Amino acid sequence: MSEFRVRTDLAVEAKESFEEDNVEIRGVRIDEDYDTKNEINITRVVIETKNGAKAMGKPMGTYITLEAPNMAVPDEGYHREISRVLSKYIKELLGDFSKEHSVLIVGLGNREVTPDSLGPLVVNNLLITRHVVKEYGKYAMGKELVNSVSGIVPGVMAQTGMESAEIVKGVIKETNPDLLIVVDALAARSTKRLNRTIQITDTGINPGSGVGNHRNAINSEVMGIPVISIGVPTVVDAAVIVNDAMENMLHAMEDAESLKSIGNVLNTFNVAEKQELFRELLSPQLNTMFVTPKDIDETMKRLSFTISEALNMVFQTV
């Protein structure tokens, strides 16, 4: 049980699982900041060594997580501020971005499945410029410096019979972009982070890994160019919900004299042991179930605009 880990695509949650077990991870540097104006908690996890990568179950690189509880609120002004903050951290991962670049933005996921439609919706909302620059030149955009932005939605293997990585690699070979941006929906292990968290990383992505559906990686090693991935957790494992409910029950047991002894026994379990126990209590039908909020339709539309606006801010201002 000590090696059990609930599926999560978020580096910040992988880090927390070690903290709960009082384990220090060598080769992993963690910095935290809080944006008081926009009420955003920013966590930067930098995996510096191979041992750190093995312990975290994540590739070496930088993972920046923006957590904003108010992101679930339909406030256009607030989401515009999130876009500005997000664009700032995307630029941080890009490094020196003072010259023109050719950028390919890939929206991973299945537009027919609402919780998995984030990537395609983001691409729909982007300001695409490559065709204009190629046809009329950069001065048609009214600027001295213009990034050439193109986008693609490769779909999923069940629709195309091809790995997303194969399609993207073929497009890169034909169009020769300088940079690849990948947007995808993620899985979390905490319900409080659903649709309230954005993760940016320079390590690329393994499509479908959060729900146990492993596909070929899309990263700089495979694609041959720098890859930045952006994701939002839109689903959680059913075991997570059971776990949250059981945790609340344990707290209630501590206040009830007749049930305190049972609560004390269960509290001796570490997080991984509790998760394994709760998973065993689930029926086979629930054991492979992933859950998303009921307002996911509107949430996906809102979050896709937030991310696409951030990308437009980054690549339309050189």
Separation between Cα atoms, residue 60 and residue 23, nearest integer Å: 19
6 domain-assigned: no
Does the residue 233 lie in any domain? yes
Structure tokens at 242: 């059971």
Does residue 94 come out as left (phi exceeding 0), alpha (psi in the -120 to 50 range) or beta? alpha
CA angle 16, 19, 25 (to 5 degrees): 95
Model confidence pLDDT, tens digit, residues 58-107 = 889 999 999 998 888 888 889 999 999 999 999 999 886 667 889 999 99
Q: Do 200 and 229 contact (CB within 8 A), yes or no?
A: yes
Q: For the segment 220-260, what is each residue's pLDDT rounded down to a tens digit? A: 999 999 999 999 999 987 777 777 777 777 767 666 666 66
Do 62 and 118 share a domain, yes or no? yes
Q: Does a structural domain hold residue 200?
A: yes
Q: What's 30's domain CATH number?
A: 3.40.50.1450
What is the domain extent for residue 231? 11-239+289-315
Helix (H, G, I), strand (E, B) or coil at 283: coil
Q: Quote helix, strand, coil % in the chain, to nearest 5.
A: 45, 20, 35
CA distance 105 to 112: 20
160: pLDDT strictly greater than 80: yes
Q: pTM of the prediction? A: 0.82
| Domains: count for the chain | 2
Identify whether residues 32 and 110 lie together within a single domain.
yes
Residue 215 has pLDDT above 90, yes or no: no
Q: Are 169 and 223 in contact (CB under 8 A)?
A: yes
User: Letter for the amino acid at 142?
Assistant: G
Write out pLDDT tens, residues 180-212. Answer: 999 999 988 888 888 999 999 999 987 655 455
